[in-house]
Amino acid sequence: MANSKQRSNSGAVVSDDFQTVDFPLKQNVSPHGRITAVSMMKDEGPFVLEWVAHHLAVGFTDLVVFTNDCTDGTDDMLFRLEQLGLAHHRRNVIGEGIRPQPSALKHAQVDPLVQNSDWLLVFDADEFLCIQHGDGSIDGMIASAKDRDANGIVITWRTFGSSGVQDWSRAPVTEQYLHAAPTSWNKGWGVKTLFQFDPEYWKLGIHRPKIKNKHLKTGFPDTVKWVNGSGQPMEDYFKFRGWRSIVRTVGYDWTQMNHYAVKSIDSYAIRKFRGNVNLKKDKYNSDYWALQDRNEVRDDSTLRYSARRDEIIDILLTDPELRRLHFNAVERAEARLAEFKDTAAYDDLVTGLRQASEIPIAEVVAKPPKPRDRAKIAALMSDIEKQVNETAQKKRRAKGAPDWSTAADHYVSDPVYEQSNPPPEMYQNKTLKIPADPRIFSPTALQQIMDGKFERNAARRVLKFIKPGDSYLEVGAGVGFLPGVIAIERSNVKVAVQEKSSALAAMALTLWSLNGLTPGPDLSLSSTPLRQPKDDPKTASGLSEMVAQTRCDILTINDPLISAAMLATALQSVTDKLPGAIVLGGQALKGQMKEPEVIKLLADYGYSPLTENPLTSALLMLQSHLQPLAKKPG
């Protein structure tokens, strides 16, 4: 990210006030041209400098901010930043009956600087772009998108809550609030779009731009190639409509838009009486707080920008006028808060918000702004969009069952589970009901659960080979779904389960309890890891002990960290009989179990693949005979 050289601007693009004051900090320069952020603000004075400094640290070359009806000096601060050459301030002239945000976008559409932008992103003052890709710079992410022949990146929201903070603080927003909703929480999947802008073809929008009608039936839509927040191609329908990610398109590997909609209770109290850019009636109520105050998962990825952001803020505060305006805004907010805190209404607000914070994530209701009018949508949909959607749907249907190598993980990377919370909505899958908990399950798994298809193929296959009196062992069992099915559908079978994740193990116990299963001699669970980081996987895996203790007839491996060497050690330790069947689950096949040496190893022990069904999410190996081996290989 370059920030030491002033980029030249054509006279009509920037205002006459831009960079009229000499200042040591210069606007960024990008090899991708003008990368512009367009935003709207009203009375955001205490947060302006952090928002500007953060996005300069990310690498935007231009920050264009429209303000309306400010009473705390937000507009004056932005005007001063314009004089310093670090932002562009615009007055949002609002016509009668027009909401502020659409009005700002209308002005931005014809703004010379915006029109001359190469890449553009529209987002709000409570949103902070966070890039996981590479060094965290927007330049690097755009370069990778271009390498994939993409001209847009669809960035999904990450909803950040209050982190339990009540009191006002002058600390940076991105350091106070480090807890968010799980990435799998689809109610928080609104998007913002960073894209190559050409005003001839695009009309600006809050979440994504819209192709102008006159270009819909030309070849232009075919040139639009967007990727999601993980750098994967977006589906074609999103060229035409939609403002949210779905299970097939969500991604966070490259980038996310951190959405700090509530902040602390005190910050919320100030905003409640300030109004909002869309003039939504009663927006700042307990329902809104319950929706936005999500703190299930810690996410401190935005701290990568802290040092550079602080450096920029320190430089900004060396300007006496900007410093005066900033602290005036902060002190004004604190004075208003102090006045409000002396009222009974503040106590009522705190009580109501604390109660709202206790609502479990699975019970939160996200009310749409207005009901969907399917007939109206159908009428607006262009012929080309219909054709694109139909083609994409046919392609998805033609794919059939997914191959194990591309199967998505069942669980989020940071599962969080508290047994004290009431269970989310339950869905019948085989003979068990499963809570659709987004803190535990990935978006793909949630869709499978709601469709009644979670681990359905694995359950069907394994049940065929379990007889009364058998012993079943599953290593890396996740939430214990398959063991629970076996315990219900096969009598007199001993089921032993191991799962190293405490959250998944806790969920397994709850899942069993909700389905009338009680742990005991015939259904046991261990959360002891099979291998400590310093152990030698060839000699001390823990798998050997479990196989020997359970004398399992069927062994299912679903831990991606188990290696061929660990499996070999376990099989070599068996003194009387080997398992009659070994199942390599989909999660294991995404790890070391997919290596060819595993199949060869199992073949040496007399196992061969079950071939009556295509290999999809699991690989089941059967012994050619179920008698003890006379001699072990090697």
- Tens-digit pLDDT profile for residues 238-268: 998 889 998 889 999 999 999 999 999 999 9
Q: Tell me which of 101-105, 222-226, 340-344, 538-542 is least confident.
A: 538-542
Q: Among residues of the chain, what percentage have pLDDT more than 90?
A: 54
User: Over 60: is that where the pLDDT of 607 sits?
Assistant: yes
pLDDT for res 13: 86
Q: Among residues of the chain, what percentage have pLDDT more than 70?
A: 82
Same domain, 379 and 442: no
Q: Give the whole-angstrom CA distance, residue 406 versus residue 552.
A: 30
Q: What is the rounded average pLDDT for all residues in the chain?
A: 84
Tokens of 162: 């209050």
Same domain, 236 and 124: yes
Q: What digits encode the pLDDT tens for the residues 480-496?
A: 999 999 999 998 999 99
H or E element that contains 202: strand 202-203
Sorting pLDDT into bands at 50, 70 and 90, what band is 188?
A: very high
- Does residue 615 or residue 29 have the better pLDDT? 29
Same domain, 441 and 485: yes
Sorting pLDDT into bands at 50, 70 and 90, what band is 613?
A: very low
DSSP 8-state code for residue 207: S
User: Over 70: is that where the pLDDT of 213 sits?
Assistant: yes
- Does residue 603 or residue 180 have the better pLDDT? 180
User: Over 60: is that where the pLDDT of 200 sits?
Assistant: yes
Q: Is residue 5 part of a domain?
A: no
Tokens of 559: 């831990």
Q: What angle do CA 29, 35, 41 make, to 5 degrees?
A: 115
HEC per residue, 426-482: EEEECCEEEECCCCCECHHHHHHHHCCCCCHHHHHHHHCCCCCCCEEEEECCCCCHH
Average pLDDT over residues 20-28: 96
Sorting pLDDT into bands at 50, 70 and 90, what band is 625?
A: very low
At a CB cut-off of 8 Å and minimum separation 6, what does 418 contact? none
Sorting pLDDT into bands at 50, 70 and 90, what band is 276?
A: very low
Same domain, 273 and 293: yes
Q: Give the whole-angstrom CA distance, residue 551 versus residue 473.
A: 9
Q: Is residue 420 part of a domain?
A: no
Q: Is residue 458 part of a domain?
A: yes
Same domain, 244 and 190: yes
Q: Give the whole-angstrom CA distance, residue 49 versus residue 505.
A: 45
pLDDT for res 400: 43
Sorting pLDDT into bands at 50, 70 and 90, what band is 594?
A: low
Picking from 363, 386, 415, the residue at the C-terminal end of a domain is 363
User: Over 70: is that where the pLDDT of 619 sits?
Assistant: no
- Does residue 473 or residue 528 have the better pLDDT? 473
Same domain, 342 and 383: no
Q: What digits encode the pLDDT tens for the residues 45-90?
A: 999 999 999 999 999 999 999 999 999 999 999 999 999 999 999 9
Q: What digits encode the pLDDT tens for the residues 279-316?
A: 344 555 788 999 999 998 899 999 999 999 999 999 99
pLDDT for res 511: 93
Q: Give the whole-angstrom CA distance, residue 450 versus residue 476.
A: 23
Q: What angle do CA 178, 265, 102 make, to 5 degrees?
A: 85
Q: What digits encode the pLDDT tens for the residues 377-407?
A: 566 555 655 665 666 556 545 544 333 333 3
Same domain, 283 and 389: no
Q: Is residue 414 part of a domain?
A: no
H or E element that contains 211: strand 210-211
Q: Is residue 30 part of a domain?
A: no
Burial class of 632 by CB neighbour count within 10 A (0 to 12, 13 to 18, 19+): exposed
Sorting pLDDT into bands at 50, 70 and 90, what band is 513?
A: very high
Whether 12 contacts 112, CB under 8 Å: yes
Q: Is residue 580 part of a domain?
A: yes
- Domain CATH for 531: 3.40.50.150
Average pLDDT over residues 450-477: 87
Average pLDDT over residues 184-194: 93
Q: Is residue 284 part of a domain?
A: yes
Q: Is the entire prediction scored with pTM above 0.85?
A: no
**Relative orientation angle of helices 344-357 and 265-272, to the nearest 10 degrees:** 120
Sorting pLDDT into bands at 50, 70 and 90, what band is 226?
A: very high
Domains identified in the chain, total number: 3
pLDDT for res 9: 40
Q: What digits encode the pLDDT tens for the residues 313-357?
A: 999 999 999 999 999 999 999 999 998 888 888 888 899 999 999
Picking from 340, 363, 386, the residue at the C-terminal end of a domain is 363
User: Over 70: is that where the pLDDT of 109 sits?
Assistant: yes
H or E element that contains 330: helix 320-341
Same domain, 113 and 205: yes
pLDDT for res 272: 75
Q: Give the whole-angstrom CA distance, residue 63 versus residue 494.
A: 64
Same domain, 160 and 53: yes
Sorting pLDDT into bands at 50, 70 and 90, what band is 616?
A: very low
Same domain, 332 and 378: no
Is 491 in a helix, a strand, or coil? Answer: coil
Q: Is residue 139 part of a domain?
A: yes
pLDDT for res 631: 38
CA 137 to chain centre: 19
Alpha helical stretches, state H, 148-187:
173-176
pLDDT for res 362: 74
Tokens of 368: 């749409």
Same domain, 175 and 248: yes
pLDDT for res 542: 79
Q: What digits encode the pLDDT tens for the residues 159-180?
A: 999 999 999 999 999 999 999 9
Domain of residue 381 covers 374-399
Same domain, 431 and 349: no
